[in-house]
Amino acid sequence: MARTSGGRGGEWLREGKQNASHAVEKSPQFRASMERFSERAAERLSATFGGMFTAAVEDVRNSKSFAALDAHLGQPAVALASQSLDQRMAFLFEGGCVEMLINAMFGFEAANDAEPSDAPKAPTALEMRMIGEIAGALAEALSDAFAPVADFDLAFETAETVEDDSLLGAKDMSALLAPVTIKSPAGGFGVTLMIPHPFLTGLALAFTRGPAPGAAKLDPVWSSRMERRVTESSLTLTAVLDEFQMSLADVSTLRVGHILPLSDGGQGRVRIDCGERGVAICSLGERSGRYALEVEDIIAKPIEHAYPGAST
């Protein structure tokens, strides 16, 4: 029997809070681009299908790809591939999107007295083609939204009804889930962007490369907003005194009072990490009766221009 996600506040999204997040989702580039995606998605859907559409990205969550797909059994999904990132992601559609799209194209408005429908049936081949068209418009909107800060392609790969957890392959991965609510006078539906963490890692590298030559630049309002977020962002730094390997057997024998010798390679220096990237090398000392760190060397180069300048 097919199971559904139970609406936008589904349990599978709430469970995602317990999963680790990816560093890139907290970056100003990603946050601002997802805001731009809402605008671009509405524009693309309106241009492709006519009518007036709005789109809003809700709070993102992290989960496992298998858990998200398992909760989406019996419903349509579209897999997309990026050759430049060498990664794949997916759009998970909720029921009602095809009916709403047809009503929007013919100018029908939603019936206020409509009773809730039963669990959605598996879409027909024609309906899957229409879902593929919606996904194509959303994929273009996503690429457009990120174009001022990152250059990557995103293409339709396959559209299918989720029958198991193999849509993106046999490997279970941590994934970012970004629910999007799409509305028109004819009604609304939901689609969730399932972005595996390996895709986000590739996206982070694309941020460092910057936009494609001749790509659209950020307008002054967006540029100012993103620059402000860079300076105001709160980052978590980790001080690493040493790193070494231990066998599982040795770890299992650890007890209170055991002494772990440190290697001599670090010479008492401490590395400061932010996420998975080294930031600085420090020496360990004391100040006002507390341990303190003095910066000796900078590992990460300062970002002179975090984002492409807006044309003025």
Domain with residue 202: its CATH number is 3.40.1550.10
294, part of any domain: yes
Element (H, E) at 26: none
Candidates 2, 50, 34; CA nearest to 180 is: 34
Range of the domain at 267: 235-298
218, part of any domain: yes
Are residues 257 and 151 part of one domain?
A: no
Candidates 222, 245, 226, 192; CA nearest to 312 is: 222
Are residues 246 and 137 part of one domain?
A: no
Are residues 241 and 100 part of one domain?
A: no
CA distance 36 to 39: 5
What DSSP state is assigned to residue 197? H
Are residues 180 and 94 part of one domain?
A: yes
Q: Where does the pLDDT of residue 304 fall: very low under 50, low under 70, confident under 90, or very high at 90 and above?
A: very low
- Higher confidence at residue 92 or residue 277? 92
Average pLDDT over residues 129-142: 92
87, part of any domain: yes
Q: Where does the pLDDT of residue 187 fall: very low under 50, low under 70, confident under 90, or very high at 90 and above?
A: confident
Report CA-CA distances (Å) from 80 to 33, 45, 89, 96, 146.
18, 18, 5, 21, 16
Torsion of CA 285, 291, 295, 298, to 10 degrees: 130
Please give the model's pTM, rounded to 2 decimal places.
Answer: 0.64
Are residues 155 and 249 part of one domain?
A: no
CA distance 233 to 255: 39
- CATH number of the domain within which 243 lies: 2.30.330.10
Q: What is the pLDDT of residue 194?
A: 97
Are residues 281 and 244 part of one domain?
A: yes
Q: Which residues contact 175 (CB under 8 A, 6 or more apart)?
A: 62, 63, 64, 65, 68, 194, 195, 196, 197
17, part of any domain: yes
pLDDT tens digits, one per residue of 153-167? 999 999 999 999 889
Q: Where does the pLDDT of residue 16 fall: very low under 50, low under 70, confident under 90, or very high at 90 and above?
A: very low
CA distance 140 to 153: 9
Residue 25 has pLDDT above 70, yes or no: yes
Are residues 76 and 98 part of one domain?
A: yes
Q: Where does the pLDDT of residue 312 fall: very low under 50, low under 70, confident under 90, or very high at 90 and above?
A: very low
Angle at 286 between CA 281 and CA 288, to 5 degrees: 135
Are residues 201 and 69 part of one domain?
A: yes
User: Last residue of some domain: 183, 210, 231?
Assistant: 231
pLDDT tens digits, one per residue of 226-253? 556 555 666 778 888 888 788 888 888 8
15, part of any domain: yes
CA distance 154 to 167: 16
Are residues 273 and 144 part of one domain?
A: no
Element (H, E) at 248: helix 248-252
User: Last residue of some domain: 231, 260, 289?
Assistant: 231
Please give the tally of structural domains in the chain.
2
User: Last residue of some domain: 183, 200, 231?
Assistant: 231
